[in-house]
Structure 1
Amino acid sequence: MATPTWLAATAGQPTKAGQINQFLGTHSVQFLYSATQTVAQATAGTGGVNTNGLYIAQSFTTPSNQTQIGWIGINATVTGTPAPLTVTVQTNNAGAPSGTVLATTLIPAEFLTGTPGNIPIPLPCTVTASTTYWVVAQAVGDASNYFTWYKSNQTSGASTSANGTTWSAQTYGLLYNVHDQSSVPPLLFTYEDNGARWTEWVFHTNGQFYILAEFTQGQTPTGYTTSLRTLNYTNGLLTSIT
């Protein structure tokens, strides 16, 4: 029997057999490292764009030697407690996201703060060199609960949509960075069952591992589970985990 894909229990939902059987076998996993940045827009502009009722996308073109994406960073914050943000890599169609998804990852609100910062997102997929793709943030939230993706100083590159199908090109770009799947340490993510479960490993500049963040999809969009642990050191020795 194949091992069922990772699935977190959801309060108020009946237990599924797969939620027991998922612990009885191995799961497909990809190891994603810090790797090599291949393309980015890193100079901030003014303001940001909210996911409340709006799909947000940023185009990028792979270099002549890139055939894989490992992870993509976006500069973002969270307001309130929206459901997880669905982020995809999509192919290009006539200058807009095509709807053809190459990779998908859910990002929970618990892993963001109200302060803008680069949020690394595991999105492993195979791509074609010298080709345009899109990183797309799905509409989620309401007037009090939403994610914000911040603008770069570019005057093009971004596109928005009310339904994820019909897109409008914008006169601004968004802050992002794209990384390949090269094995340049340290380890950054383990990505299991095509994103049903993923783990982020964060290291100090001195090489010490100090944050472990885990996310598992649930039976409903609000039924996921997360775990965020910090390892504390004194004089180079691990003293506690919080």
Structure 2
Amino acid sequence: MPFNLFQKKESSSPKPDRKFTLPGFGEKAPIDPLVTMEKKILKEGKVDDTTVRHELADLARLEKESQKARKDLEKAQALLAKREKEEHQATTNLNNATHAHEVSVVKLSDAQKDLKIKQEWEEKMHADLTVKRAAVDNVVNEQKERNEERESKLSGIRREKTVRTTKREQEASGTIEPEESNEAPKKSIETAPPTYDKHDPDAEIVEAATKGKGKEAAIAEPETDVVMGEPAKEEPVAAAST
């Protein structure tokens, strides 16, 4: 028989028989043992019913608690899986961020090196440009001086050619007599020959034309008319008197 807290402990000592006494009568009626046994059995049945109800209630409570514990376990397992997934994702993000940071550091270093190289190259190009500009300015100035010198020479040659052409025309028309070859040519009063460098290849021709050394020394090529741009016609030279 299961233990019941509400069941009273039976005494080991025998109880005296109780006699039922009707009111008005002096003697008590004897208790029927069957009735007593029936009551005892009924009482035991009630106790058993109470015990079973309590046990069933405890069982239902334990079943509910067990179900709740199982659900809590499943929730804890799901939460653990979720936290593990979050931790794995966080680790992945951390690794990606670390890799991205390392790549950024390398790119930053490369950019700094490239900037330094570009700065050095720009400074070199600027210095080369400064030197080249100075050299070009020098060359241009020298060319300008040489052009002025050549223009001066050409102007003297053109003036001398103009004088010679005019003189030939006058000789051809009979305005003036041809000069003897042994006589020095008359210098033009209007123009004076310029001074030339002796090392200049054209200096000998110009000097010969100025000093009147003769047509062969003064003129190596057919003369070109200044006005028309055509070769000047050679006039016959008078024979030298003997």
Task: With the length of structure 2 as denominator, give the TM-score of the two structures.
Answer: 0.16
Greater share of residues in helix = 2
- Per the normalisation by structure 1, the TM-score is 0.16
Higher strand proportion (structure 1 or 2): 1
**Larger relative contact order (C-alpha < 8 A, sep ≥ 6)?**
1
